[in-house]
């Protein structure tokens, strides 16, 4: 089993004719993802990477039955691209774009409230179910099929963690890069809930970072509802308060945003805390072996 993407995924790429869109479309196809359509306004009727291009998402969905959107659209237009996919009732929408204005995402979150649609990102590496579907920019060669779910605010750290897991023979069910912006589509808690309900996932690796209170919210969920072991790492332990470190959301404002506060909350909730990124694989292998 898996969450979000898999063998039934019929992928539509918004911005497919751009440099990054076409390159990553090719990589998705090479991985085995079924890419059925692309969308670039004004380029309808063309092909890109052997995929038919349409002017609108609605037209593409009507003609190809696409059920997942992958967005490579410049930041000023990315939120509108997400909304276009949402209006077309795409069940899963994954926005890779970095630098999307925060208020644009507030508008997207407001529109999505109460809907059954899932938005991942923006400013994220995407989602991959090893051996089934790659939807994003993750390097597919480091992933292996298994039963550990991975949730990460950081793209780079998810690659590192997965490489360690794979090296130790610990495969992954699905890996989700939720994104590092202050306002994102799917939260850590929502991703944890998906894995908690997935019969093919036996444990979860949660990679957080400084800034915000997402990890404290995750702690509440872990303590009250999580049925599976969680291994957690928090990046940014040495970051000074008030200075943004990497992601737009990685800035300490108040005591709750510190790495120590997040670790304390997660530990109290029953998660196994990893203090160094180099230990994620080894600690997870121990937890899975003992679960």
Burial profile 37-60: b = 16 or more Cβ within 10 angstroms, e = fewer: bbbbeeeeeeebbebbbbeebeeb
The catalytic position among 247, 249, 262, 283 is 247
What pLDDT score does 1 carry?
62
Give the mean pLDDT of 8-15: 98
> What is the maximum alpha-carbon separation in the chain?
56
Confidence of residue 264 (pLDDT cuts 50, 70, 90): very high
Report yes or no: 187 and 214 within 8 Å, Cβ to Cβ. Answer: yes
Give the mean pLDDT of 264-275: 96
Backbone angles phi, psi at 232, to 5 degrees: -125, 140
List helix spans (H) across the chain: 19-31, 57-64, 75-87, 102-112, 155-167, 188-196, 214-224, 259-269, 280-290
Poorest-pLDDT segment among 63-72, 110-119, 250-259: 250-259
What pLDDT score does 2 carry?
84
Give the mean pLDDT of 86-114: 95
Q: Distance (Å, rounded) from C-alpha 184 to C-alpha 193?
A: 16
Give the mean pLDDT of 169-197: 95
What pLDDT score does 290 carry?
55
Handedness of CA 43, 44, 45, 49 (dihedral sign): positive
Residues 52-87 have pLDDT tens digits of 999 999 999 999 999 999 999 999 999 999 999 999
Per-residue HEC secondary structure of 120-184 comes to ECCCCCEEEECCCEEEECCCHHHCCEEEEEEEECCHHHHHHHHHHHHHCCCCEEEEEECCCCCCC
Residue 253 reports pLDDT greater than 50: no
What pLDDT score does 260 carry?
87
Give the mean pLDDT of 213-238: 91
What pLDDT score does 241 carry?
54
What pLDDT score does 49 carry?
97
User: Counting every residue, how long is the chain?
Assistant: 291
What pLDDT score does 237 carry?
63
Residue 210 reports pLDDT greater than 90: no
Residue 29 reports pLDDT greater than 60: yes
For domain 139-291, say whether CATH 3.40.50.261 is its number. Answer: yes
- Measured torsion, CA atoms of residues 163, 169, 174, 179, in degrees rounded to the nearest 10: -20
Residue 225 reports pLDDT greater than 80: yes
Q: Distance (Å, rounded) from C-alpha 258 to C-alpha 245?
A: 12
Q: Looking at per-residue confidence, does 107 or 257 come out higher?
A: 107
Complete edge-to-edge strand list for the sheet that includes strand 92-95: 47-48, 51-54, 35-39, 11-14, 68-71, 92-95, 118-120
For residue 67, how many other CB atoms are within 10 A of its CB?
18
Q: Note if 247 is an active site residue.
A: yes
Report yes or no: 43 and 55 within 8 Å, Cβ to Cβ. Answer: yes
Complete edge-to-edge strand list for the sheet that includes strand 172-177: 133-136, 126-129, 172-177, 145-152, 203-209, 230-235, 272-274
Instruction: Quote the mean pLDDT of the chain.
Output: 92
Q: Distance (Å, rounded) from C-alpha 10 to C-alpha 61?
A: 10
For residue 175, how many other CB atoms are within 10 A of its CB?
30
Domain boundaries defined on the chain: 1-122, 139-291
Domains 1-122 and 139-291 share a fold: yes
What pLDDT score does 256 carry?
62
Confidence of residue 37 (pLDDT cuts 50, 70, 90): very high
What pLDDT score does 288 carry?
92
Residue 251 reports pLDDT greater than 50: no
For residue 182, give Cα distances in angstroms to 55, 175, 197. Answer: 31, 20, 26
Q: Distance (Å, rounded) from C-alpha 115 to C-alpha 117?
A: 6
Residue 291 reports pLDDT greater than 50: no
Query: Which CATH class for the 1-122 domain?
Result: alpha beta
């Amino acid at each position: 089993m898996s969450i979000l993407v898999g063998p039934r995924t019929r992928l539509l790429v918004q911005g497919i004719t751009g440099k990054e869109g076409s390159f990553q479309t090719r990589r998705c196809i090479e991985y085995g993802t079924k890419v059925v359509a692309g969308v670039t306004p004004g380029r309808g009727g063309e092909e890109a990477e052997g995929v038919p291009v349409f002017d609108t998402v609605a037209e593409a969905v009507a003609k190809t039955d696409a059920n997942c959107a992958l967005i490579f659209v410049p930041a000023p237009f990315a939120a509108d691209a997400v909304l276009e996919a949402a209006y077309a009732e795409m069940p899963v929408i994954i926005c890779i774009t970095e630098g999307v204005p925060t208020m644009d995402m507030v508008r997207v979150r407001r529109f999505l409230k109460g809907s059954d649609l899932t938005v991942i990102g923006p400013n994220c590496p995407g989602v991959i179910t090893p051996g089934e579907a790659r939807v994003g920019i993750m390097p597919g060669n480091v992933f292996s099929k298994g039963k550990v779910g991975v949730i990460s605010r950081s793209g780079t750290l998810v690659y590192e963690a997965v490489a360690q897991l794979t090296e130790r023979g610990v495969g992954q069910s699905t890996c989700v890069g939720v994104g590092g912006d202050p306002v994102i589509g799917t939260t850590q808690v929502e991703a944890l809930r998906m894995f908690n309900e997935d019969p093919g996932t036996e444990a979860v690796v949660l990679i957080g970072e400084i800034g915000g209170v997402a990890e404290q919210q995750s702690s509440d969920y872990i303590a009250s509802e999580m049925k599976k072991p969680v291994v957690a790492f928090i990046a940014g332990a040495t970051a000074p308060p008030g200075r943004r470190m990497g992601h737009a959301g990685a800035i300490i404002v108040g005591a709750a945003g510190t790495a120590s506060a997040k670790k304390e909350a997660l530990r109290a909730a029953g998660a196994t805390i990893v203090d160094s990124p180099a230990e994620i694989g080894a600690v997870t292998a121990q937890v899975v072996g003992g679960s």
